[in-house]
Structure 1
Amino acid sequence: MHDVDTSQKGDTAPLCRSEITDDDFLGGQLKVLQPVRGYRAGLDAVLLAAAVEANSDRRTRVLDVGAGVGTVGLCVARRLPFAEVVLFEREAALVDLARENITRNGLEGRVRACLGEVGARAGHYLEREGLKDGSFTHVLANPPFFDGGSATRSASKLRAAAHVMDGGDFEVWGRFLARMAGPAGQALVIHKADALAKVLAGLEGRFGRIRVLPIRPRPGENANRVIVSGIRGSKAPLSVLPGFVLHGDGNGFTPAAEAILREGRGLYPK
């Protein structure tokens, strides 16, 4: 159930209803339309959303960067009924689906989707959408997996958009997250475990109190994902948390994973 890519070479046709699936998240509490081909949200999206901790001391404003069809941000909004969420995505076809997902889940009052990108033209999009620098308490990212300089680009535009990272690798993403996070704002990133060094480099000097949570498929196995969090302006040192285990001895999820995936519980128990 990790986020997957099901693109096929040569697929350049525009999206139509036969190319869209209707998928349940959070045990059916959330229904998400997403393309059959290209980037498909799954376990990674739910885990990242679950890492957002409720903060009763101040207004919770969440920016989902590279939101796709909005799964991460919508999961946050369903989990935290007081959170305001902005979905920020550069592909117009996915923004359209994100807006439909907002409406069909009854979240129009607290969630909106905006067209935009994290690179050189970010300021143009932010101004057009009325998004202010430093105005979010949480900035989230499930960024592309492959470096544009080394990956083979797919013929599918949506696959390239979702899985090939352009413009300075995660450095550009880290800079944008820092731009949008408010004072003591939290960045949360989920990525492949072998990309940890790049994620840390992108956050370095911008976020402190870095916490690395390894996500392990089963007890004793190496992590294949990490969730990295940091606090804007903090000088506290980095720490590595005990790993989170998804499956027990069989194929079923652990009780902790089930609570997140089916019930919308948070990743960090109170």
Structure 2
Amino acid sequence: MDRAISETVDAFHRGQFFLVQPRDGGHRAGMDAMLLAALVDADRPVRVADLGAGAGAAGLAVAARLVAAEVVLVERSAEMAHYARRTLALDENAFLAARAQVIEADVTLRGKARIAAGLLDDHFHHVIMNPPFNDGRDRKTPDALKAEAHAMTDDLFESWIRTAGAIMVPGGQLSLIARPQSVGDILAACGKRFGGLELTLVHPRPGEDAIRLLVTAIKGSRARARFRAPLFMHADEGHAFSPFVDDLNNGRAAYRRTSR
């Protein structure tokens, strides 16, 4: 396989860590993964599961910012799991390799099958996810690997959030990024599993519709949900990120919950 044609090695957090990704096929990580990683905030050693990790961008962004975090990258696609392992093998990522591992498994596994795959009950302090976001009415991509990464099923949030609840310690934090249109499914899936939801709509600019939704929730909490102030990616004009969003994107800040 010609590496120059098939893959790229991309810098994140301004060169703090690197990711091996398919050049054309599959899902290439970007801003969504960095915003997701920014939702994790901890001042002590924590175990983090990145469900549907792809090549590992979000999980490794957490590990790069939080030096006491151990991260498990969970990915169903054998090809994308291969990229994640290649990523961990990079010399530039040596400071992460001892604190990260890849599990090739379907996020929706249940019971003994899930445990056998290495996803133990009541184990992780944080579970993060960037689930597939295209529904059945969206135009299908001809790329099979990308289609798998983007294809939403009817019970996606129910099955993924059920797994998050099973593998997380009581009081642990769920963090996810999704389209705003999925808010109803997310609230329903959290149900009695998670409370204290904090939801943030992400807008390109003031006056423009939201394009993403950030959600955090606490396992077993009975606190009410709250919508936080919107997050704007850019100022009124130009394409540069706002200073705070640029800090989130480059691992210099966390998007902390308002309720600790």
Q: Same fold (TM over 0.5)?
A: yes
Residue 124 (structure 1) aligned to one of 97, 102, 113: 113
1:43 corresponds to which residue? 31
- Maintained 8 Å contact 1:116/1:126: no
- Maintained 8 Å contact 1:26/1:260: no
- Maintained 8 Å contact 2:198/2:257: no
- Maintained 8 Å contact 2:61/2:251: no
- Maintained 8 Å contact 1:22/1:31: yes
1:5 corresponds to which residue? none
SS at 1:259 equivalent:
helix
Q: How does 1:1-270 map to 2 (within 5 A)?
A: 17=3, 18-36=5-23, 37-56=25-44, 59-104=45-90, 105-106=93-94, 107-120=96-109, 123-129=112-118, 131-147=119-135, 149-151=136-138, 153-166=140-153, 168-248=155-235, 249-268=237-256
Letter in 1 for 2:124: F
Instruction: Measure the CA separation in 1 of the matches of 2:38 and 2:17.
Output: 14
SS at 2:36 equivalent:
helix
Letter in 2 for 1:88: V
Question: Residue 207 and residue 55 in structure 1: after superposition, are their counterparts in 2 closer, same or farther (change >3 A)?
Answer: farther
Question: Residue 155 and residue 218 in structure 1: after superposition, are their counterparts in 2 closer, same or farther (change >3 A)?
Answer: closer
Aligned Cα root-mean-square deviation (Å): 2.0
SS at 1:236 equivalent:
coil
Question: Residue 26 and residue 123 in structure 1: after superposition, are their counterparts in 2 closer, same or farther (change >3 A)?
Answer: farther
SS at 1:257 equivalent:
helix
Aligned residues: 252
Question: Residue 199 and residue 50 in structure 1: after superposition, are their counterparts in 2 closer, same or farther (change >3 A)?
Answer: same
Question: Residue 269 and residue 138 in structure 1: after superposition, are their counterparts in 2 closer, same or farther (change >3 A)?
Answer: closer
Shift of 1:25: 0.9
**Deviation by residue 1:72-121 (Cα, 9 ceiling, x = unmatched):** 00000000000000000000111111011122111221000110012246
SS at 1:171 equivalent:
helix
Single out whichever of 198-207 and 135-144 deviates more from structure 2: 198-207
**Deviation by residue 1:132-181 (Cα, 9 ceiling, x = unmatched):** 1110000000000123x555654433122201123623111111111111
Shift of 1:20: 1.0
Listed as ranges, the gaps of 5+ residues in structure 1 are 1-14
Instruction: Measure the CA separation in 1 of the matches of 2:112 and 2:81.
Output: 18
Letter in 2 for 1:43: M
Letter in 1 for 2:59: G
Instruction: Measure the CA separation in 1 of the matches of 2:74 and 2:156.
Output: 18
Letter in 2 for 1:162: A
